Chain A
Amino acid sequence: NAGVMQNPRHLVRRRGQEARLRCSPMKGHSHVYWYRQLPEEGLKFMVYLQKENIIDESGMPKERFSAEFPKEGPSILRIQQVVRGDSAAYFCASSSTGGADQPQHFGDGTRLSIL
Chain B
Amino acid sequence: TQLLEQSPQFLSIQEGENLTVYCNSSSVFSSLQWYRQEPGEGPVLLVTVVTGGEVKKLKRLTFQFGDARKDSSLHITAAQPGDTGLYLCAGRTYNNNDMRFGAGTRLTVKP
Which residue of B is nearest A100, CB measured?
B30
User: What's the nearest-Cβ distance from chain A to residue B11, in Å?
Assistant: 15
Count the A residues whose beta carbon is within 8 Å of the partner chain — how many?
A: 28
Mark contacts of B98-110 with chain A using CB atoms, 8 A cut-off: 1 yes-contact digit, 0 otherwise.
Answer: 1111111000000
Given A42-B88, A100-B31, A100-B92, A56 and B43 contact (CB-CB distance below 8 Å): no
* A56 lies within 8 A of B88 (CB): no
Given A100-B31, A103-B48, A42 and B101 contact (CB-CB distance below 8 Å): yes
Which residue of B is nearest A59, CB measured?
B98
CA distance A99 to B28 in the complex (A): 16
| B111 beta carbon closer than 8 Å to chain A | no
User: Which residues from B are CB-within-8-Å of A107?
Assistant: 42
Given A42-B88, A42-B103, A55-B97, A101 and B31 contact (CB-CB distance below 8 Å): yes
- Please list the residues of chain B having a beta carbon within 8 angstroms of any beta carbon in chain A: 2, 4, 6, 30-31, 33, 35, 40-45, 48, 50, 88, 90, 92, 94, 96-104
User: What's the nearest-Cβ distance from chain A to residue B71, in Å?
Assistant: 16
User: Which residues from B are CB-within-8-Å of A100?
Assistant: 30-31, 50, 92, 94
| A48 beta carbon closer than 8 Å to chain B | yes
* B42 lies within 8 A of A104 (CB): no
CA distance A109 to B35 in the complex (A): 15
Excluding A40-B103, A56-B97, 14 further A-B contacts by CB distance (< 8 Å) are A33-B98, A42-B2, A42-B6, A42-B88, A45-B98, A56-B96, A91-B42, A93-B42, A103-B33, A103-B48, A106-B42, A106-B43, A108-B41, A109-B41
Which residue of A is nearest B96, CB measured?
A56
